[in-house]
Amino acid sequence: MTDTNLLDNRPPPRWIDGQALAARVRAELKRKVQEASERGLTPGLAVVRVGEDPASKSYVGAKVRACAEVGFHSRHISLPATTTEAELLDRIDALNRDPAIHGILVQLPLPPSIDEARVLGAIDPAKDADGFHPLNVGRLLLGLDAPVPCTPKGILRLLDEAGVDLRGKRVVVIGRSNIVGKPVALLLLARDASVAICHSKTADLPEEVRRADVIIAAVGCPALIKPDWIKPGAIIIDVGINRTAAGKLVGDVEPTCFDRATAMTPVPGGVGPMTVAMLLDNTFELFCRGLDYRSTVVEE
């Protein structure tokens, strides 16, 4: 605990443990998968990777291992960097028609020769485990039922875990990507937060962050967010995954920001494990929808 805490009488800050929460989500899914398998039904996820990007290989490996842990059927399709867009679209078409597959994920980024938007748009929206199909993005925007992108969904679960009531809170989202910044801003808005979205052209980022009760950093810039930007007592969600020259994983938030916060997610062990857990969660939801099985297996 720092002087700041002593001066304003706040309880000591705490880490929001994404690893532990993700383990609980997986354990609950494992129980539901077991129930389904007793009826001869198994959720299936296909993960498609193109090329040799080491980070993508590592993310896909974590996703496939998580599938095995909860008892999903998983199919890992690893294609060479020379794969053409037409070949990839053929693979997706086959997965769309495969009854054993309920969720499809195409690991991004794709090689530059492949049109990412065309590929994401080719996934059956009913098997869209990442929630990146334009139809599902539109449904999310309209507040309709849709698979929610995994990282934003995990962030909301972490905020719930930390007991944060978002209603009326000022939230700053730093980063406006289609996979994190924009969808998390929509979800926060749906929870009645007042959301500011910042990006590389934001005029005075420190000042925007200083106003915020909740800070979501999804930039990809090591230690961009500094301690003197943090409103005392703020909640900090650090989405960033950056590898230093020494090979260490660090977030977008300088670790000493923790001392000024009420709670903060660590890197690693915060948002990352929840992204994988939410992929499983989405796949199970798609499985239930596909079978119209929800009323018997899923407890709301």
| Spatial separation of the C-alpha atoms in residues 143 and 49, rounded to whole Å | 30
Beta carbon of residue 5, minimum distance to ligand NDP (angstroms, whole number): 27
Report the candidate in 273, 261, 269, 174 with the shortest Cα–Cα distance to residue 217: 174
Part in contact with ligand NDP (CB under 6 A); list of ranges 9-17, 60-68, 270-278, 289-297: 270-278
Query: Is residue 205 near ligand NDP by the rule CB under 6 A?
Result: yes
Report the candidate in 173, 267, 179 with the shortest Cα–Cα distance to residue 217: 173
DSSP letters of 130-141? Answer: TS-SHHHHHHHH
Do residues 209 and 252 lie in contact, with contact meaning Cβ atoms separated by under 8 Å?
no
Q: Between residues 175 and 266, which has the closer beta carbon with respect to ligand NDP? A: 175
Beta carbon of residue 72, minimum distance to ligand NDP (angstroms, whole number): 19
Query: Is residue 220 near ligand NDP by the rule CB under 6 A?
Result: yes
Neighbours of 284 (CB within 10 A): 24
Report the candidate in 296, 246, 238 with the shortest Cα–Cα distance to residue 265: 238
| Footprint (CB under 6 A) of ligand NDP, residues 224-253 | 224, 239-242
Beta carbon of residue 56, minimum distance to ligand NDP (angstroms, whole number): 11
Do residues 147 and 286 lie in contact, with contact meaning Cβ atoms separated by under 8 Å?
yes
Size of the site for ligand NDP (CB under 6 A): 26
Query: Is residue 129 near ligand NDP by the rule CB under 6 A?
Result: no
Contacting ligand NDP (CB under 6 A), which of 149, 181, 183, 266? 181
Contacting ligand NDP (CB under 6 A), which of 19, 42, 96, 177? 177
| Residue 19 designated active-site | no
Is residue 29 classed as helix, strand or coil in its secondary structure? helix
Identity (one letter) of the amino acid at 213? D
Query: Is residue 210 near ligand NDP by the rule CB under 6 A?
Result: no
DSSP alpha helix (H) spans, 71-111:
85-97
Catalytic residue among 32, 127, 128, 130, which? 130
Which residue number places its CB atom closest to ligand NDP?
Answer: 177
Beta carbon of residue 168, minimum distance to ligand NDP (angstroms, whole number): 25
Beta carbon of residue 270, minimum distance to ligand NDP (angstroms, whole number): 7
13 upstream amide cis, omega within 30 of 0: no
CA distances from 208 to 174, 183, 199, 227 (A): 9, 19, 11, 14
Query: Is residue 183 near ligand NDP by the rule CB under 6 A?
Result: no
Give contact residues for ligand NDP (rule: CB under 6 A).
151, 174-177, 179-181, 198-202, 205, 218-221, 224, 239-242, 271-272, 275
Catalytically active residues are 63, 107, 130
